[in-house]
Amino acid sequence: MSPKITVIGLGYLGATHAAAMAELGFEVLGLDIVPEKIELLTRGETPIYEPGLEDMLRRHVAGLPGSTGRLSFTTSYAAVAEFGDIHFICVNTPQKPGEYACDMSYVDSAVDSLAPHLTRPSLVVGKSTVPVGSAARLARRVAELAPAGDAAELAWNPEFLREGFAVDDTLHPDRIVAGVTGERAEVLLREVYAGPLGDGTPFIVTDLPTAELVKTAANAFLSTKISFINAMAEICETAGGDVVKLAEALGHDDRIGKKFLRAGIGFGGGCLPKDIRAFMARAGELGAPEAVAFLREIDSINMRRRVYMVDLTRETLGGSLLGKRVAVLGAAFKPDSDDVRDSPALNIAGQLHLQGAEVTVHDPKAMENARRVFPTLRYADSPTEAAQGAHAVLHLTEWREFRELDPAALGEVVGERHILDGRNTLDPALWRKAGWTYRALGRPTA
Ligand code: UDX
């Protein structure tokens, strides 16, 4: 008989994982401690915008018309322990306020709440991104608290999903990493992932610390690639080169690869920024800070690009932002997402506002979240409305609809035709032809 699965923490990662497990044919019970979230999910809805997720939920949430009924939700740890053989921990590990380290309290409390109910053989599987060493500590905690003792085991199975592609990344991962301490955990995880494994997905079995590190190292490497190309953009700005062409030429070398070499205002979101900081903090605790000292520079380059964008706007507007109208296109940290956590776009909008500009923001999906974080900014329902009378238009999140804007039509409503492309994805020739000054990061001005 197939193992029954539970998913603890129904945020981004957990909601997607729970629905994907049901899609793969398992009976799934999802737990969250927030009752409103459970109510929403029970209706087949999510609090986040993620293409394809609500459809996948509706195919499986029990009680919805035409669903398989394989997916249900609860707020009770006792119910979860009673139901499941495998318990995935998917709670978040945010950056601690005012510190670099990550906050492990949600993971700790999930394990402490679940383990005392584990009376029969079960496998607890961590998926959250955690500082190396956490899994071994949590494994001891499970063994100590679970009435089943050693029969309750812990494994680590990091998740690499990207927002905007969460459903596809979960159902068709590049690789599956299983950090285990024994054969039983490996066998169970192979059974859970039999679907993707059948499609030839590599399955890499490691010890617990290596599994935790794969995730941390992967995100640190991605951040490094982005900050590297952004450092090259800085060089291009002084040497007169074009970073877009540079990245294209670099990417043809298979050893380097084309991906994650898009220069611009840098990386944001709920993962990359906090994960490199948490990695630095953990390396410091372990007495190995030199090993990842360069990550501090990766973070600084990233934050510098936001300041540079503000400086470039001020310079374009003649040296002062006071009273200048600026239209900001984009608030989400990347397109196809409504997530504004550590969003470079919103951060830049905020800096401009604090320096006296009248900022109006438009984003196709992230308006509600942006309003909550930055209620003092103005918000408009369309790019055209945001651009009314603007002295400069800033393109800060590369939504497709922004690439498809008609520069001539937008030129009719602005006060001055200055477009600053923070994502290097607009067509400079098109904008210049329509009478705009086009400026971008790491690209020649004319
Ligand atoms: C990231 C990792 O990709 C994923 O594997 C991990 O599980 C979670 O963190 P995500 O945060 O969804 O995923 O976003 P991603 O697509 O990686 O983009 C992160 C940020 O980097 C965005 O702000 C994006 O705009 C920026 N970025 C990405 C660049 O500035 N340049 C690039 O070339 C690529």
Task: Tell me how long the chain is.
Answer: 446
For residue 49, how many other CB atoms are within 10 A of its CB?
19
Does 433 lie in the same domain as 316? yes
Does 260 lie in the same domain as 183? no
Residue whose Cα lies nearest atom 14 of ligand 1: it is: 162
Verify whether ligand 1 is closer than 6 Å to residue 333 (CB atom): yes
Q: Report the alpha-carbon distance of residue 355 to residue 326 in Å, rounded.
A: 12
Verify whether ligand 1 is closer than 6 Å to residue 222 (CB atom): yes
Residue whose Cα lies nearest atom 25 of ligand 1: it is: 334
Verify whether ligand 1 is closer than 6 Å to residue 264 (CB atom): yes
Pocket test for ligand 1, best of 175, 215, 262, 271 (most atoms within 8 A of CB): 271
Residue whose Cα lies nearest atom 31 of ligand 1: it is: 262
Residue whose Cα lies nearest atom 22 of ligand 1: it is: 267
Does 441 lie in the same domain as 342? yes
Does 341 lie in the same domain as 224? yes
Q: Write the pLDDT tens digit of every residue in 194-233.
A: 999 999 999 999 999 999 999 999 999 999 999 999 999 9
Does 384 lie in the same domain as 297? yes
Q: Quick one: pLDDT at residue 446?
A: 67
Verify whether ligand 1 is closer than 6 Å to residue 396 (CB atom): no
* 331 Cβ contact partners less than 8 Å away, ≥ 6 residues apart: 340, 343, 345, 346, 349, 361, 362, 363, 366, 367, 369, 370, 396, 397
Whether ipTM tops 0.90, in short, is yes
* Number of domains the chain contains: 2
Does 173 lie in the same domain as 121? yes
Distance spanning both ends of the chain, measured CA to CA: 66
> Residues 292-317: what's their mean pLDDT?
97
Total-model pTM: 0.96
Strands (E), 267-414: 325-329, 358-362, 378-379, 392-395
Does 342 lie in the same domain as 309? yes
Q: Among 206, 233, 259, identify where a domain stops.
A: 206
Q: Look up 271 and say whether it is catalytic.
A: yes
Does 348 lie in the same domain as 230? yes
Does 38 lie in the same domain as 101? yes
Burial status of residue 99 (CB atoms within 10 A of its CB: 0-12, 13-18, 19 or more): exposed
> Residues 425-446: what's their mean pLDDT?
94
Q: Report the alpha-carbon distance of residue 131 to residue 95 in Å, rounded.
A: 11
Give kind and range of the element (H or E) at residue 373: helix 367-373
Q: Is 268 annotated among the ligand-binding residues?
A: yes
Angle at 301 between CA 300 and CA 306, to 5 degrees: 95
Q: Write the pLDDT tens digit of every residue in 324-348.
A: 999 999 999 999 999 999 999 999 9
Q: Is 231 annotated among the ligand-binding residues?
A: no
Percent of the chain with pLDDT over 90: 97
Sign, CA dihedral 52-54-58-60, equals positive
Atom number in ligand 1 closest to CA 223: 21
**CATH number, domain at 352?**
3.40.50.720
Q: Write the pLDDT tens digit of every residue in 235-282.
A: 999 999 999 999 999 999 999 999 999 999 999 999 999 999 999 999
Q: Is 261 annotated among the ligand-binding residues?
A: yes
Q: Report the alpha-carbon distance of residue 115 to residue 135 in Å, rounded.
A: 14
* Domain extent for 14: 5-206
Q: Are 386 and 329 in contact (CB under 8 A)?
A: yes
Separation in Å, CA 269 to CA 163, 192, 335: 9, 29, 11
Verify whether ligand 1 is closer than 6 Å to residue 266 (CB atom): yes
Sheet containing strand 152-156, strands side by side: 71-74, 28-31, 5-8, 86-89, 122-126, 152-156, 176-179, 203-206
Q: Among 206, 226, 246, identify where a domain stops.
A: 206
Q: Quick one: pLDDT at residue 445?
A: 82
Q: Is 381 annotated among the ligand-binding residues?
A: no
Q: Among 168, 186, 206, identify where a domain stops.
A: 206
Q: Quick one: pLDDT at residue 47?
A: 83
The residue assigned the tokens 């941390």 is 216
Copy the structure tokens of residue 253: 């070398």
Q: Is 333 annotated among the ligand-binding residues?
A: no
Q: Are 131 and 156 in contact (CB under 8 A)?
A: no
Q: Report the alpha-carbon distance of residue 213 to residue 219 in Å, rounded.
A: 10
Residue whose Cα lies nearest atom 28 of ligand 1: it is: 260
Atom number in ligand 1 closest to CA 275: 9
The residue assigned the tokens 């490996």 is 186
Pocket test for ligand 1, best of 161, 224, 272 (most atoms within 8 A of CB): 272
Q: Quick one: pLDDT at residue 48?
A: 87
Pocket test for ligand 1, best of 226, 348, 396, 425 (most atoms within 8 A of CB): 226
Distance from Cα 120 to the centre of ligand 1, integer Å: 40
SS3 call for 420: strand
SS3 call for 54: helix
> Residues 155-167: what's their mean pLDDT?
96
The residue assigned the tokens 């200048």 is 324
The average confidence (pLDDT) of the chain is 97
Does 270 lie in the same domain as 181? no
Does 97 lie in the same domain as 78? yes
Verify whether ligand 1 is closer than 6 Å to residue 162 (CB atom): yes
Does 73 lie in the same domain as 163? yes
Q: Is 433 annotated among the ligand-binding residues?
A: no
